[in-house]
A = this chain, B = another copy of it.
Amino acid sequence: MADVARRAGVSMATASRALSNHPHVAEETRARVLAAAEQLSYVVSPEASRLAGGATDRVAVVVPHISRWFFATLLEGLEAVLRDADLDVLLYHVGDAADRRDFFQRLPARRKVDAVVVLGMPVMHGERERLESMGVHIVAAGGQVEHYPYVSIDDAAAGRQAVDHLLFLGHRRIGMIATVEPTEPGWPANPGRARAYREALAEAGLPAEPGLVVTVPWGGVPGADAMSQLLSLREPPTAVYAHSDEVAFGAMRTLRRAGLRIPEDMSVVGIDDHPMAELADLTTVAQPVRDQGVAAGRMLLALLAGGEPEGGGTVATRLVVRGSTGPPRPGSSRARSSSPRPGRR
């Protein structure tokens, strides 16, 4: 920076002010400094800057999964706006509870970042305090978080769109494949989506049959297993509501292998609108994933600029009807065994 200052004919103090957009710097001087910096292709050292009290221009992004489409897409949107604002993204993958503890234990120890974005997972109480106590900004996206500026879908509403669709089609025996986090057993991945199912059924005057609900770890193969389980019922459902598209894909494989037709013998609906859903012809509830990442990024930028975050809250989902759902067959489920479907391979 000394070089830049010299070249611009000013002191380091002024150069610093010009570079970091401080007021009280003559416009002409600022221009001169900027030009000098440009010529020397100089950029401030984040280390020195931070050490001296400036910002780190770095934000931490915490995700429970990297390779899953949903999280990766959220991240993609977020990274785009952050990088546009010249912020560096530090990626932290917290897989299980131990990782979580580790993360919240260590990151705050020293100010490595100006803010942290939590993607697709809840923030526990103690962790919240830890974060807050060190004055970094926090934003959440894609998960069920309150207390913070956040953006996500309304899981319960999305679930209702899916289940109501099945009800509207005339289904009365509807199965649900719920998921839990593979790494954190017992942690329901989406309580809201399960609640929607119960409420929709209750409102329709249908009984809650425990056998129609099966809970598995998130994933395609578990989804396939879940479907097998539903097919093993004395009276299987005529439609299934899966908490996520990937799980629905698994369910569809089981149906295909069992020689059942979709949707004639079984309707399937998922949530997310995974890119593959279009290819698999899966009816699903679409949510704008990338946009949520983008919105979270923008909120963070506002916060960092000292303003109030806007555009947060809940974003709308919409049902996308494809070929995997249809009315139940007239004879209901009992009729199935009487009409062997044509062998297909």
Which A residues are closer than 8 A to B by beta carbons? Answer: 41-48, 50-51, 56, 58, 61, 65-69, 72-73, 75-76, 79-80, 83, 88-93, 106, 109-110, 112, 219-221, 224, 246, 249-250, 252-253, 256, 261, 264, 275-276, 278-281, 290, 323, 342, 344-345
Q: Is the CB of A93 within 8 A of B72?
A: no
Nearest chain B CB to A325 CB, angstrom units: 13
Which one of A44, A69, A91, A345 has the highest number of Cβ atoms from chain B below 10 Å of its Cβ?
Answer: A91
Residues of B within 8 A of A76 (CB): 65-67, 93
List 15 additional contacts besides A67-B73, A67-B75, A246-B276; criterion CB under 8 Å.
A46-B110, A46-B112, A47-B50, A47-B56, A51-B51, A66-B75, A66-B79, A67-B290, A89-B90, A219-B275, A221-B278, A249-B280, A250-B279, A253-B280, A280-B280
Instruction: With A220-B275, A220-B279, A344-B344 as known contacts, state yes or no: A72 contacts B79, CB within 8 Å.
Output: no
Q: Is the CB of B278 within 8 A of A220?
A: yes
A47 and B52 CA atoms in complex are apart in Å by 10
Instruction: With A89-B91, A109-B42 as known contacts, state yes or no: A249 contacts B279, CB within 8 Å.
Output: yes
A43 and B249 CA atoms in complex are apart in Å by 46
Instruction: With A50-B47, A109-B42 as known contacts, state yes or no: A279 contacts B253, CB within 8 Å.
Output: yes
Which one of A72, A73, A106, A279 has the highest number of Cβ atoms from chain B below 10 Å of its Cβ?
Answer: A279
Residues of B within 8 A of A79 (CB): 66, 91, 93
Nearest chain B CB to A329 CB, angstrom units: 13
A50 and B112 CA atoms in complex are apart in Å by 12
Which one of A79, A88, A90, A344 has the highest number of Cβ atoms from chain B below 10 Å of its Cβ?
Answer: A88
Residues of B within 8 A of A45 (CB): 51, 110
Contact of A72 among B47, B66, B106 (CB under 8 A): B66
Residues of B within 8 A of A65 (CB): 76
List of 6 A-B pairs having minimum Cβ-Cβ separation, nearest first: A66-B76, A72-B72, A67-B72, A67-B73, A47-B50, A47-B47
Residues of B within 8 A of A323 (CB): 345
Residues of B within 8 A of A344 (CB): 261, 344
Q: Is the CB of A91 within 8 A of B93?
A: no
A112 and B86 CA atoms in complex are apart in Å by 13
Contact of A109 among B43, B280, B281 (CB under 8 A): B43
Nearest chain B CB to A44 CB, angstrom units: 8
A329 and B110 CA atoms in complex are apart in Å by 67
